[in-house]
């Protein structure tokens, strides 16, 4: 997998965790019709799983090495 900037990964983590928690809370509360409760709760769990995946990516990816072909050589 290619390198993703840490700021972008943090944003994705926050987005998936908040929507997952919001989906689980809304799905388990009484705001939704009974036919949608299971679907909304399941989608919240999927979003929590995606947040955990991006947390794993954030914690395990290595720093991007600069491309040596683009480096200018010093002339004496």
Per-residue pLDDT tens digits for 19-40: 999 999 999 998 888 889 999 9
pLDDT band at 70 (very low <50, low <70, confident <90, very high): low
Would the pLDDT of 64 be above 80? Answer: no
pLDDT band at 45 (very low <50, low <70, confident <90, very high): very high
Question: Which pLDDT value is given to residue 76?
Answer: 64
- Please say whether the beta carbons of 22 and 46 come within 8 A: no
Question: Which pLDDT value is given to residue 30?
Answer: 81
Query: Quick check: pTM over 0.95?
Result: no
């Amino acid at each position: 997998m290619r390198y993703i900037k840490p700021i972008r990964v943090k944003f994705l983590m926050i987005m998936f965790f908040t929507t997952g928690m919001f989906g689980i809370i809304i799905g388990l509360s009484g705001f939704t019709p009974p036919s949608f409760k299971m679907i909304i709760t399941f989608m919240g769990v999927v979003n929590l799983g995606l947040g955990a995946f991006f947390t794993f990516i954030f914690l395990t990816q290595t720093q991007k090495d600069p491309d040596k072909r683009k480096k200018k050589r010093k002339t004496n």
